[in-house]
Amino acid sequence: MRAVVQRVSDASVTVDGRAVGAIEGGLLVYVGAGKEDGPEDAAWLAGKVANLRVFEDDSGLMNRSALDSGGAALAVSQFTLFADARKGRRPSYSDAAGPEVAKPLFEAFVAALKETGLRVETGEFGASMRVAYVNEGPVTILLDSKKVF
């Protein structure tokens, strides 16, 4: 599984004009599942996100996690994280898991993230979502459970 993690002062998701998830301070996490991913990838990714030290301590150093700082997470499913744009101009999504695999993995990620004690909000799987956020820092981290990068 892959994630783009952003430290935010606030973030929200709307679908068809209705709010479905919002946080004030924490992490906006875009999550994508690949065809080769399983529950162990969801668990690894959740642990990594919850404990990622991207929040400043009293000395101004990024030594605190969302758990340490009392932040929350807004998880948004995003299959385009598995886009391959190396050839041509139209990205291929052939490495992305189909919805029948991706949805349970996304739900497993969210459940594992909640088990860490982090407050978690979500977007709506498969919906056309509007995401608004303020990236603090900016801090943006790329994660991959297969450690491709």
- What residues are annotated to the active site? 78-80
At position 143, the amino acid (one-letter code) is L
The single residue listed with the structure tokens 């303020």 is 134
At position 131, the amino acid (one-letter code) is V
Query: Do the Cβ atoms of 76 and 28 come closer than 8 Å?
Result: yes
Tokens of 45: 């990714």
Give the whole-angstrom CA distance, residue 141 versus residue 104: 24
**47 SS3 class:** helix
Tokens of 14: 């709307």
Going by the DSSP 8-state scheme, the letter that residue 102 receives in this structure is H
